C-alpha cells in the first residue's frame, strides 16, 4: 500500500471502531423515548432486551471472528462485519415495534462484534510494531487505539444518544451510522490491501456454538441477577450451571480431551503457553470490570449528590477520556526503550488503584471538580493498561494466530465489563438497602434510588442521598481492591518478545522504521519519514513490486508483511 492508502484505510478503521463501540451504549439515554414511541403500554417490559440484544450478539461472536480473521484474512471479515452493522442500523431506524427493534439490534450487534475486535487486527497489519534501534518497540497503532477508544466511546455513547434524541429523533441514533459507515466501507474496500493466505482451514463451528451459548448464559446472569431475578432463583442458578457446563465442553472441544477435540480449534489452548497472553487475558478482564464500574457509578454519584442531569453527567466524565488519550501517547513513547512494557503497565495499574481509593472518599458535599480530578487520574491509568496489554500480545504471538489472540483479549475485556456491572451493582444495592430506613426504601435498589430522590424533600431526601453516596463509596473501595489484584498480576508480566514464526522477527537498527498512528504516540508524519524507502525507490511508497522479502530491511516488508494480494 502507498502511504496515502495506509492513512485512508486507517481513518476508515478508526471510524468503524468508534461506531461499533459507541452503539453498545448509545441507546441508554434514548431508551425512554423509544419505548414511548413504539410501545407505550408494554415497552418498559421489553426495555432490558433492547440493550441486552446488542451486547449479547457483539460479545458472543468475537471468538468466531478471531478464527475467521486468521483463516480468510482481516479485510474480508472486517468488510463483512461493517456491512452487517450498517444493514442492522438501517433496519433499526425503520423498526415499527419493540420486537422488530430488538431483533434488528441483535443483527447490528453481530456486525458490531467484528468492528470492536477485527478492526484492531486491520490496523495492526497496516501499522505493525517494530523494534527500535535501542531494542524497544515503536508500538502498534491498533493496540493503543483499541484501549483508548473503548474508554472514550463509553463516555461519548450516552452523550451522543442524548443529543440526537433531544434535537432530532431517536431514529437518528441509528441513521447517523449510515453515512459514516459507508465512508468507512468505501475506504476499506478501495484502500485496504492486506495479505491473504491461500490455504483453507476448517472452522470449528461446534466450538463457536458452545462458547456463544456459554457466554450468553453468563451475560444473562450479569443482566438479570439481583435485578430481574434474585441471585438464588432457579433461573439464575440454572443459567450459572448451564454456562459452566458449556464452558467445560468448549474447553474439551478445544483440546483438553483429544478424542473429541476439533482438528483446528477455534481457540488454540497453546496460546496459554505464551506467558504474555496468559497474564494479559485476566488483566484485561479486570480492566474491563473497573472501567465499567468507574463510568456507571461516578455518573450515579453526580446525579445523586450533585444534582447533575443525566446528559450533563456524561460531560463530567470527559476528564477520564482526556486522561486516557494523554497517557496512551506518553506510554507509546516510553516503550520505545527496551524493558519498559512492564514498568508502564505497573504504573498504570497503580494509578487506577489510587484513583479508586480517592473516589471512595467522595461525600455529598465534595466539589464536583475533585471528582473530575480523580477521573483524570483514573483515565491516565487505564490509558497505560488497556492499549499496552493488547500491544504486548500482538508482539509476542505468531502472525497466524494474531486474529484469535487479539479478539480473545478484547473478549476478556468485554466479559469483564459485564461481570463488573453485575458485581458492583450487587454491592451498591446491598449497601443502599442497609443504609436507608425501611420506610424510605419504597422497594428501591441503588439504581432506582435516583428516581426515589425525585419524590422526597427535606431530611428524608438527604438521608437517601447519604445512603446512595455511601453505597457508591463502597463500590469504589471494592474497585480499588480489584485494581490491586491487577497490580499483582502485572508485577509478573514479562517483557514481550517477537514471535518466532517466519516474518515475525523485526530487525534492530536504524532501518527498522517505526510506524503507528495516534493512539500510541507515533504520528503519521514521523512514520512516513522513518519508514521511507531507499533514495532510488519511488518517493512516498511503501510497496515493492516483487513478492519476496526486501533484503534492505526497510518499509513494510521489514515489518513482516507480505506483499498485498487483496
Q: What is the pLDDT of residue 44?
A: 65
Distance CA 59, CA 80 (A): 17
Mean residue pLDDT across the chain = 76
Higher pLDDT, 539 or 153: 153
Q: Which pLDDT value is given to residue 523?
A: 39
Q: 295: exposed, middle or buried (C-beta count within 10 Å: 0-12, 13-18, 19+)?
A: buried
Closest CA to 24 of 423, 428, 413: 413
Q: Where are the alpha helices (DSSP H) in 270-401?
A: 275-305, 310-315, 318-334, 341-359, 368-396
Q: 53-57, 129-133, 313-317, 508-512 — which one is most confidently predicted on average?
A: 53-57
List the single range of 3-7, 230-234, 431-435, 497-501 with lowest mean pLDDT: 497-501
CA distance 476 to 297: 8
pLDDT tens digits along 137-194: 445 444 455 556 666 666 677 777 777 777 788 898 899 899 999 999 999 999 888 7
pLDDT computed for residue 526 by the predictor: 39
Flag whether pLDDT at 221 surpasses 90: no
pLDDT (0 to 100) of residue 432: 83
Looking at residue 543, its pLDDT comes to 45
- The predicted pLDDT at position 255 comes to 84
- DSSP SS3 for 500: coil
- Phi then psi for residue 318, to 5 deg, are -60, -35
Is the predicted pLDDT of residue 514 greater than 50, yes or no?
A: no
The more confidently predicted of residues 9 and 543 is 9
159-171: b (≥16 Cβ within 10 Å) or e? bbbbebbeeeebb
| Contact status, residue 304 vs residue 453, Cβ threshold 8 Å | yes
pLDDT of residue 91: 95
Query: Cα 310 vs. chain centroid, distance in angstroms?
Result: 23
> Phi/psi of residue 307, each to 5°?
70, 25
Cell digits of residue 68: 475467521
For 55-114, the DSSP string reads HHHHHHTHHHHHHHHHHH-HHHHHHHHHHHHHHHHHHHHT--SHHHHHHHHHHHHHHHHH
469-485 pLDDT tens trace? 888 889 999 999 999 99
Task: Compare 270 and 552 and report the one with higher pLDDT.
Answer: 270
Decide if pLDDT at 235 tops 50.
Answer: yes
Residue matched to cell numbers 525507490: 537
Q: What are phi and psi of 437, to 5 degrees?
A: -60, 150
**Is pLDDT larger for residue 247 or for residue 40?**
247
- Tell me how far apart the 2 most distant CA atoms of the chain are, in Å: 83
Phi, psi of 133 (to 5 degrees): -60, -25
Could you tell me if 166 and 401 are in contact, meaning their C-beta atoms sit under 8 angstroms apart?
no
| Higher pLDDT among residues 430 and 25, named by residue | 430
Are the C-beta atoms of residues 24 and 55 closer than 8 Å to each other?
yes
Least confident residue range of 1-5, 227-231, 487-491:
227-231
Please tell me the predicted confidence (pLDDT) of residue 448.
52
In this predicted structure, the answer to whether residue 512 has a pLDDT above a threshold of 60 is no
Q: What is the pLDDT of residue 185?
A: 94
* CA atoms of 441 and 430, how far apart (whole Å): 12
Mean pLDDT to the nearest integer, 41-62: 78
148 and 525 Cβ atoms separated by less than 8 Å: no
User: How many C-beta atoms surround the C-beta of residue 135 within 10 A?
Assistant: 11
Query: Of all residues in the chain, what percent carry a pLDDT higher than 90?
Result: 14
Give the count of alpha carbons within 13 A of 496, CB side only: 36
- Residue, of 498 and 271, whose pLDDT is higher: 271
CA pair distance 306, 364, nearest whole angstrom = 7
Least confident of 42-51, 124-133, 265-274: 124-133
- The DSSP symbol for 398 reads -
Of 367 and 246, the one with more pLDDT: 246
| Of 154, 152, 158, nearest in space to 308 by CA | 158
C-alpha cell at 380: 491516565
Residue 178 has a pLDDT of 93
Confirm if 127 and 11 have CB atoms less than 8 A apart: no
Amino acid at each position: 500500500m502507498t502511504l496515502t492508502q495506509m492513512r485512508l484505510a486507517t481513518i476508515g478503521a478508526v471510524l468503524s471502531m468508534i461506531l461499533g463501540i459507541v452503539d453498545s451504549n448509545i441507546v441508554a439515554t434514548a431508551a425512554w423515548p423509544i419505548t414511548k414511541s413504539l410501545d407505550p403500554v408494554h415497552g418498559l417490559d421489553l426495555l432490558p432486551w433492547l440493550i441486552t440484544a446488542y451486547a449479547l450478539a457483539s460479545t458472543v461472536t468475537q471468538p468466531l471472528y478471531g478464527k475467521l480473521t486468521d483463516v480468510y484474512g482481516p479485510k474480508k471479515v472486517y468488510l463483512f462485519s461493517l456491512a452487517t452493522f450498517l444493514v442492522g442500523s438501517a433496519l433499526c431506524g425503520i423498526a415499527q415495534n419493540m420486537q422488530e427493534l430488538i431483533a434488528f439490534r441483535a443483527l447490528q450487534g453481530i456486525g458490531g462484534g467484528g468492528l470492536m475486535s477485527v478492526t484492531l487486527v486491520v490496523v495492526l497489519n497496516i501499522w505493525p510494531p517494530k523494534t527500535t534501534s535501542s531494542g524497544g518497540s515503536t508500538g502498534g497503532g491498533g493496540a493503543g487505539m483499541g484501549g483508548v477508544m473503548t474508554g472514550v466511546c463509553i463516555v461519548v455513547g450516552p452523550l451522543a444518544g442524548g443529543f440526537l434524541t433531544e434535537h432530532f429523533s431517536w431514529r437518528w441514533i441509528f441513521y447517523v451510522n449510515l453515512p459514516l459507515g459507508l465512508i468507512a466501507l468505501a475506504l476499506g474496500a478501495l484502500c485496504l490491501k492486506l495479505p491473504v493466505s491461500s490455504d483453507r482451514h476448517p472452522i470449528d463451528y461446534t466450538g463457536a456454538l458452545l462458547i456463544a451459548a456459554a457466554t450468553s448464559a453468563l451475560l444473562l446472569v450479569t443482566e438479570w441477577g439481583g435485578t430481574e431475578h434474585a441471585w438464588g432463583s432457579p433461573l439464575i442458578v440454572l443459567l450459572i450451571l448451564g454456562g459452566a457446563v458449556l464452558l467445560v465442553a468448549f474447553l474439551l472441544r478445544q483440546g483438553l480431551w483429544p478424542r473429541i477435540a476439533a482438528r483446528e480449534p477455534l481457540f488454540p489452548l497453546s496460546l496459554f503457553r505464551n506467558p504474555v497472553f496468559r497474564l494479559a487475558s485476566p488483566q484485561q478482564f479486570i480492566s474491563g470490570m473497573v472501567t465499567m464500574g468507574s463510568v456507571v457509578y461516578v455518573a450515579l454519584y453526580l446525579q445523586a449528590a450533585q444534582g447533575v442531569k443525566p446528559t450533563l453527567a456524561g460531560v463530567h466524565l470527559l476528564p477520564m477520556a482526556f486522561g486516557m488519550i494523554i497517557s496512551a501517547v506518553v506510554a507509546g513513547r516510553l516503550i520505545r526503550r527496551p524493558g519498559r512494557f512492564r514498568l508502564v503497565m505497573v504504573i498504570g495499574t497503580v494509578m487506577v488503584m489510587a484513583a479508586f481509593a480517592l473516589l471512595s472518599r467522595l461525600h455529598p458535599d465534595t466539589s464536583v471538580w475533585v471528582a473530575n480530578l480523580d477521573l483524570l487520574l483514573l483515565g491516565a491509568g487505564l490509558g497505560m493498561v488497556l492499549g499496552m496489554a493488547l500491544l504486548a500480545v500482538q508482539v509476542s504471538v505468531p502472525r497466524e494466530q494474531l486474529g484469535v489472540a487479539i479478539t480473545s483479549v478484547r473478549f476478556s475485556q468485554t466479559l469483564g465489563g459485564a461481570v463488573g456491572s453485575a458485581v458492583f451493582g450487587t454491592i451498591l444495592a446491598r449497601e443502599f438497602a442497609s443504609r436507608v430506613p425501611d420506610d424510605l426504601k419504597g422497594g428501591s435498589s441503588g439504581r432506582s434510588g435516583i428516581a426515589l430522590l425525585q419524590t422526597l424533600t427535606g431530611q428524608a431526601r438527604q438521608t437517601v442521598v447519604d445512603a446512595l453516596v455511601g453505597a457508591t463509596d463502597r463500590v469504589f473501595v471494592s474497585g480499588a481492591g480489584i485494581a490491586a489484584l491487577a497490580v499483582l498480576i502485572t508485577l509478573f508480566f514479562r517483557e514481550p518478545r517477537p514471535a518466532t514464526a517466519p516474518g515475525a522477527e523485526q530487525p534492530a537498527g536504524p532501518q527498522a522504521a517505526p510506524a503507528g498512528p495516534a493512539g500510541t504516540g507515533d504520528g503519521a508524519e514521523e512514520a512516513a519519514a522513518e519508514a521511507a524507502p531507499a533514495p532510488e525507490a519511488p518517493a512516498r511508497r511503501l510497496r515493492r513490486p516483487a513478492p519476496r522479502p526486501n533484503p534492505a530491511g526497510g518499509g513494510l516488508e521489514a515489518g513482516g508483511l507480505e506483499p498485498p494480494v487483496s
